Chains A and B, each alone.
Chain A
Amino acid sequence: MGFSLEAGSSKKIHYCIRVGDKEMEKSRVTKAVKGDVNDNSAWGWLIHKGISAPFICISLFAILVRVAVSLHPYSGAGDPPKYGDFEAQRHWMEITTNLPVNEWYHNSTTNDLSYWGLDYPPLTAYQSYIHGLVLRFFHPESVSLYTSRGHESYIGKLLMRWTVLTSDVLIFFPAVLWLILVYADQWRRHKSNLAWHVAMILLNPCLILIDHGHFQYNCISLGLTLGAVSAILHDKDLVASFLFSLALNHKQMSAYFVPAFFSHLLGKCLKRQNPLFEVSKLGMVVVGTFALVWWPYLHSRVAILEIRAPSNRAFLYGLLNSAFSFYLFSFQVHEKSILLPLLPATILAVEEPFLFQWLTQFALLSMFPLLTRDKLVLPYIALYGIFISVYYAPNGKPDAPNTRSSSRLTSFLIAFVLLLSLALHIIYLTINPPKKYPFLFEAIIMLLCFSQFVLVAVYSNRKQWILSNQQSPIGIQKKQL
C-alpha cells in the first residue's frame, strides 16, 4: 500500500504557515516533487502529505531534544572565580540593562572589561538587553549591577536556558523552514529526503550541544545566515544582504562567509542589465543595516568584493570553502567556530551525505574536550546517537550521486579512522595524560580532526572548481520544470 504521484505532475499549493510570531505566506509555490516509489515505508504516513507534517513533527522533536539537553550543566557551572560562557552572557545582560548604551563597550568602574567584557558586535548587545529585561522582570537578583556576579540559581538557569530556546525557535526554525521550501522547489528530491534533510539540520548535535548545553547564542547568527542563504536561493538578494549584515552584526565570526556571499552577489549583479545600479542597491542595504545597528556608535564598514561566475549550487560549496579557509588558517580560532563550516555542510547534506556525516562526527570530536570540561558527556553521547540513528533512518538518506565505490581500501580506512576516534574518546575520559604533556590527548584529538577537516576542505574545493567549470547560470535552473 503506498501513495504515489505520477512523475512530472505538479501542484500549486497555497501555504499560510504561522511560525512563532512570524507569518510566512508562501503562495503558489510550484512544487514538482518526484513521486515516492517506496512510500510504503514505515514513516510514509508522515511524509505523503507534503512538507508541513514532517516539519512540524521534526520541529517539535527537535525542541524536545533541546529542552532535554538544557537539563544538563552549563559551561563554568559552580566554578568560581571566572565561571564560563554562561556567566559571560549573564554579565552582558547585567551590563546592558543597567548601563546606558554608549557605556556598554567602555571600560569604567561599573563596567570592568577584564571580567567578561563585551566582545561581540552590537546586535549581541541588543539581544542581551532584551533578554536581560526578561530576567530582570522575573528574577532581578540575577542581573543586578555588580552584586549578581557569579549568580547561580535554579530559576536563573531556567530563564537563561529559555532565552536560548526562544531565540532558536523564533529565528533558526523559520529560517530552516524557508530553506527547505526553497530547496524543495529548486532541487527535485524525494519527499522522504526532504524530511531527512530537515531532521539533519534541526538535530545538528554540535549546535544543540553548544547552544543549549555549553550555553551560547549561535542559533541567532547562524539562523540569520541561514535565512540569508535561503533568500539567495530564492532570488531575493536585498533580503539576503539585510539578513547577512544582521548576522555579521551579531557575531563577527559570520565574516567567515563574507567571500562567498559577496562574490556570488556581485557576480549576479554583473550578469544583470544595470550592474552599477544593482551593486549600489545591495551596497545601500548593507550600509543601511550596519548604520542601523551601529547607530549609537556611528561607525561604518565597507565590504570587500570578489568576482566569480554565480550559480546557486556553487554558492553553497563556496560558503563551505570560505568558512573552512577561515577556520583552518585564522588566528585565535575557538573550537566552537567549527559550527560555521558545519552550517553550509548541513545545507548540502542531501547533495553530499557522506561528507556531511563525516564532518559532523569530527566536529563533535573536536568539541569533545570542551564538552567534557562542561560535564556534558551524557548529552554528547545521546545526541551523537540520535544523530547517527536519524542519519541512517530507513528511506531517509538519499543515495549519493557518485556512490563511493566500496573499495576495500576506502572501507578499511574509514573503519580505521572511526575506531581511532572511538579509542580517543575512551582514552580522554579514562586515562590521565602524562605530567610532562598535560594536553597530549587534546593535541592528538585536534590533529586527527584537523586531518579530516583538510580532507573535507580539499574535496569541497575540488567540487566547487568542477561545478564552476560547468558554468550553469541561475536562469536556466529555474526554467526546469
Chain B
Amino acid sequence: MKPPKQKKARQLEEKQTKLHDPHRPIIKDLLWFSLITTFFKVLLIPAYHSTDFEVHRNWLALTHTLPLSHWYVDETSPWTLDYPPFFAYFERFLSLFASLVDPTITDLYNGLNYKALSVIIFQRLSVIASDAILIYSIYKLTKNLESKKRFLIWVLVVWSPGLLIVDHVHFQYNGFLLGILLVSLGALQKGNDLIGGFVFAILLCFKHLFAVAGPVYFVYLLRHYCRGGILRGFTKLVTMGVVVVAVFVAAYGPFAYHGQIQEVLRRMFPFGRGLCHAYWAPNFWVLYILSDKMLAFVLAKLGFHIQTPTASFTGGLVGDASPFAILPTITPSLTFAIVLLAISPSLVKAWRNPQPKMIIRWVAYAYSCGFLFGWHVHEKASLHFLVPLAVVAVESIEDARHYFMLSIVSSYSLFPLLYEAQEYPIKVVLLLLHIALMWYGFSSQFSERNESDKRTACVLMVTGWMEKSYLLGFVVLEIWGQFLHPFLLGDKLPFLPLMMMSFYCALGMMYSWIWQLRCIVRSQ
C-alpha cells in the first residue's frame, strides 16, 4: 500500500510547513502595504491644515507646561481641552518628544499659532505614527481570512478617502481612535469579551463621542459574557464592572482628586451649540430643516402668517433649542431620545441572540443612528460607522453594494473640509482611486470566473436605475458646485452648493440607515 502512504506523508509535510509559517507572508504583505501608505502620507505633509492643527499643538503645550489641575481650566488659548483625560495623557506623552524637537511647540504663550516647519512635520508624523494602531487592528481582524478578502479590507480601511482627508490633511487623530475601536470589535468577534469591553472603556476615555455604541456594548456583554447561570453570570458581571470602573478611575481619578470633575464634564459636554454644525452634516436634521423652510415658504405664499425665526441653526438660543417656523422644535434631550429609539432594534436583537459575528454590524448601526439623529453632529462622525463596515463589506454582495454607495456618499460629504484649490485634485483623484479599487476588488470577489468584461462588474456593483442615477448625480452636483454656480450666479446664494450637497448626501445616509436596519431586523 505504498502510494497512499506516500500521499499521506506528503500531506503531513505540507501541513507542517503551513503550520510553521502561517503568518509570515501576511506580515510581509502588511509591512509592504503600510510602507507605501506611510510614504504617501509623508507627501501630504505640506498640504492645507485646519484650525484643528493649532488645537492639538495647544494641547501639547498645555499638557507639557501646566500641572494636571490646570489642564481643564486653562484659557490661554481659545482652543481649550475638550476630550477625555486619556487623550490629554496621550498629548502629554507626545509633548515629551515635541519639546525635544523644538521647544517653542510646547511653549504655552510663544507657541500660539506657531507655523514653523518643525511643528508641521512633528504633528503630521505623530498622526502617521499613531496610525500604527489602525494597522495592528486590521492585522488582528483579518489574519484568518483568505488573502483576497484580507487585502481588500486593508485597502478599504486604510485608503478610505475620508480617513486620509480628515486625518492627514485637515488634521485629526481618527485613525488611531478607530484602530482602538477595531481592536475592541475584533476581540468581541473572537469571543474575548473581557478584552473587548476593556478596550472599549479605554476608547471612551479617549473620545467620549464613541459612547453612542455604549448601549449595544452593554446589552451584548450582559447577554453574551455574563451567561451561564446566576452565580457565574453575576461574577462575570462584577469582573467586567471592576475592569470598566478601573479604567475610568485611571482616567478621571486624578481629576476627581483635584476636585475638577465638574470642569472636565463641562468641557466635554459644552452647551450653547445649535442643532447643526457650521457646515451641516448630512443627517436627518438637514431634511427636517429644509422641510421646515419649504413648508414656511409654501404656507406664507398661501397667505398664512409665519413668524420667521430670529436665530440660526448653527448658533444656540437660551435653552439650546434651535428655532423652527412650522415644525416642532428640537431639543438636545429629544435628539437623545430619538437616537436611543433608533438603536433599540439592534438592542433587542443583541438581547435575544448575542452572536459575535453580528457585533460589528450592531455597533456600526448604533453609530449611524447617532450620526443621523444626534445633536450638533460633525460630518467627520460618518467615519465611525464607515470604517467598521469595511470589515463586513466583503461578506456578501449586498454588503459590498451598500458599502460601495456609503463610502462614496461619506467621502464626498467630507469634500468641503478641503476648500482650497490646491487640494482639489487630491481629494477627487483619491475618491476616484477608491472607487476603482472597490469596483475591481468587489467584482473580483463576487463575480464568476472567466467573466471579465466591465459590464458584469457594473451590474454587480450598482443595480437599478435609481442607484445608478443617484451616483451619477454626484458628478452633476460637483460640476454645478465647482464650475456652473460661480460662472452663472457669481457671488449670489453662496450657501446653495453646500446646502445641496448636504441634502443630497443626507438622502444617501438615510438609505444606508434603512438598509442597515433592515439587515439587522432580518438577521437570525
**What residue of chain B has the Cβ atom nearest to residue A69's Cβ?**
B43
- How many of chain B's residues have a CB under 8 angstroms from any CB in A? 39
Judged by a CB distance under 8 angstroms, whether A292 is at the interface is: no
Which A residues touch B44, using CB under 8 A? Answer: 68, 71
Judged by a CB distance under 8 angstroms, whether B90 is at the interface is: no
Judged by a CB distance under 8 angstroms, whether A433 is at the interface is: no
Interface digits, B292-315 against A, CB 8 Å rule (1 contact, 0 not)? 000000000000000000000000
Which A residues touch B445, using CB under 8 A? Answer: 45
Q: Is the CB of B39 within 8 A of A389?
A: yes
Which A residues touch B449, using CB under 8 A? Answer: 3
Judged by a CB distance under 8 angstroms, whether B152 is at the interface is: yes
Which B residues touch A41, using CB under 8 A? Answer: 147
Known: A63-B429, A155-B421, A158-B422. A45 touches B148 (CB 8 A): yes
A282 to chain B minimum Cβ distance, whole angstroms, is 39
Which A residues touch B433, using CB under 8 A? Answer: 57, 60-61, 64
Judged by a CB distance under 8 angstroms, whether A50 is at the interface is: yes
**What residue of chain A has the Cβ atom nearest to residue B159's Cβ?**
A61
Judged by a CB distance under 8 angstroms, whether B235 is at the interface is: no
Known: A57-B437, A382-B43. A1 touches B426 (CB 8 A): no
Judged by a CB distance under 8 angstroms, whether B440 is at the interface is: yes
Judged by a CB distance under 8 angstroms, whether A279 is at the interface is: no
Among B33, B36, B42, B148, point to the contact of A40 (Cβ < 8 A): B148
B432 to chain A minimum Cβ distance, whole angstroms, is 6
Judged by a CB distance under 8 angstroms, whether A133 is at the interface is: no
Q: Is the CB of B40 within 8 A of A386?
A: yes
Q: Is the CB of B39 within 8 A of A154?
A: no
Interface digits, A52-87 against B, CB 8 Å rule (1 contact, 0 not)? 010011001101110111011000000000000000
Which B residues touch A165, using CB under 8 A? Answer: 425
Judged by a CB distance under 8 angstroms, whether B21 is at the interface is: no
CA distance A45 to B39 in the complex (A): 24
Contact residues of B between 26 and 43, Cβ < 8 Å to A: 28-29, 32-33, 35-36, 38-40, 42-43
Judged by a CB distance under 8 angstroms, whether B444 is at the interface is: yes
Which B residues touch A458, using CB under 8 A? Answer: none
Which A residues touch B38, using CB under 8 A? Answer: 385
Judged by a CB distance under 8 angstroms, whether B162 is at the interface is: no
Interface digits, A157-200 against B, CB 8 Å rule (1 contact, 0 not)? 01000100100000000000000000000000000000000000
Q: Is the CB of A65 within 8 A of B422?
A: no
Which B residues touch A268, using CB under 8 A? Answer: none
- Stretch of A112-120, A390-398, A416-424 that contacts chain B: A390-398
Q: Is the CB of B43 within 8 A of A65?
A: yes
Q: Is the CB of B425 within 8 A of A67?
A: yes
CA distance A184 to B79 in the complex (A): 58
A440 to chain B minimum Cβ distance, whole angstroms, is 27
Judged by a CB distance under 8 angstroms, whether A42 is at the interface is: yes
Q: Is the CB of B425 within 8 A of A379?
A: no
B475 to chain A minimum Cβ distance, whole angstroms, is 16
Q: Is the CB of A48 within 8 A of B432?
A: no
Interface digits, A341-385 against B, CB 8 Å rule (1 contact, 0 not)? 000000000000000000000000000000000000011011101
Judged by a CB distance under 8 angstroms, whether A43 is at the interface is: yes
Judged by a CB distance under 8 angstroms, whether A44 is at the interface is: yes
Known: A69-B43, A382-B40. A49 touches B432 (CB 8 A): no
CA distance A193 to B318 in the complex (A): 66
Which B residues touch A68, using CB under 8 A? Answer: 40, 43-44, 47, 426
Which A residues touch B28, using CB under 8 A? Answer: 394
CA distance A49 to B433 in the complex (A): 17
Q: Is the CB of B35 within 8 A of A67?
A: no
Judged by a CB distance under 8 angstroms, whether B243 is at the interface is: no
B221 to chain A minimum Cβ distance, whole angstroms, is 34
CA distance A5 to B222 in the complex (A): 52
Q: Is the CB of B39 within 8 A of A382?
A: yes
Among B42, B148, B422, B425, point to the contact of A154 (Cβ < 8 A): B422
Which B residues touch A72, using CB under 8 A? Answer: 43, 46
Among A64, A162, A379, point to the contact of B426 (Cβ < 8 A): A64
CA distance A392 to B28 in the complex (A): 10
Judged by a CB distance under 8 angstroms, whether A46 is at the interface is: yes
Judged by a CB distance under 8 angstroms, whether B430 is at the interface is: yes
Which B residues touch A69, using CB under 8 A? Answer: 43
CA distance A89 to B324 in the complex (A): 57
Judged by a CB distance under 8 angstroms, whether B452 is at the interface is: yes
Contact residues of B between 403 and 442, Cβ < 8 Å to A: 421-422, 425-426, 429-430, 432-433, 436-437, 440-441
Among B39, B430, B444, point to the contact of A386 (Cβ < 8 A): B39
Known: A67-B426, A382-B42. A158 touches B152 (CB 8 A): no
Query: Most B CB atoms within 10 A — which of A50, A155, A385, A392?
Result: A385
CA distance A353 to B366 in the complex (A): 51
Judged by a CB distance under 8 angstroms, whether B150 is at the interface is: yes
CA distance A378 to B39 in the complex (A): 10
CA distance A390 to B152 in the complex (A): 17
**What residue of chain B has the Cβ atom nearest to residue A165's Cβ?**
B425
**What residue of chain B has the Cβ atom nearest to residue A385's Cβ?**
B39
CA distance A205 to B230 in the complex (A): 65
Judged by a CB distance under 8 angstroms, whether B146 is at the interface is: yes
Known: A60-B436, A63-B429, A67-B426. A394 touches B29 (CB 8 A): yes
Which A residues touch B421, using CB under 8 A? Answer: 154-155, 158
B451 to chain A minimum Cβ distance, whole angstroms, is 9
Known: A3-B449, A42-B29, A57-B433. A389 touches B35 (CB 8 A): yes
Q: Is the CB of A386 within 8 A of B426?
A: no
Which B residues touch A61, using CB under 8 A? Answer: 433
Which B residues touch A65, using CB under 8 A? Answer: 40, 43
Q: Is the CB of A381 within 8 A of B422?
A: no
Judged by a CB distance under 8 angstroms, whether B3 is at the interface is: no
CA distance A48 to B500 in the complex (A): 40
Q: Is the CB of A71 within 8 A of B150?
A: no
Among B45, B146, B422, point to the contact of A378 (Cβ < 8 A): B45
Q: Is the CB of B430 within 8 A of A64?
A: yes
CA distance A73 to B430 in the complex (A): 22
CA distance A213 to B344 in the complex (A): 54
CA distance A65 to B37 in the complex (A): 11
Contact residues of B between 446 and 469, Cβ < 8 Å to A: 449, 452
The 10 closest A-B pairs by CB, nearest first: A385-B39, A45-B444, A68-B43, A60-B433, A42-B151, A382-B42, A389-B35, A67-B425, A49-B452, A382-B39
18 other A-B residue contacts (CB within 8 Å) besides A45-B441, A383-B43: A45-B152, A45-B440, A45-B444, A46-B444, A50-B452, A53-B440, A61-B433, A65-B43, A68-B44, A71-B47, A154-B421, A381-B39, A382-B39, A385-B38, A386-B36, A389-B35, A390-B36, A392-B32
Pick 23 A–B contacts, CB within 8 A, sort by A.
A1-B146, A40-B146, A40-B148, A42-B33, A42-B147, A42-B148, A45-B148, A53-B436, A57-B437, A57-B440, A63-B429, A64-B40, A64-B433, A71-B44, A71-B46, A162-B425, A378-B121, A381-B39, A381-B42, A382-B39, A382-B43, A394-B29, A394-B32
Q: Which residues of A contact B (CB under 8 A)?
A: 1, 3, 40-46, 48-50, 53, 56-57, 60-61, 63-65, 67-69, 71-72, 154-155, 158, 162, 165, 378-379, 381-383, 385-386, 389-390, 392-394
Q: Which residues of B contact A (CB under 8 A)?
A: 25, 28-29, 32-33, 35-36, 38-40, 42-47, 121, 146-148, 150-152, 421-422, 425-426, 429-430, 432-433, 436-437, 440-441, 444-445, 449, 452
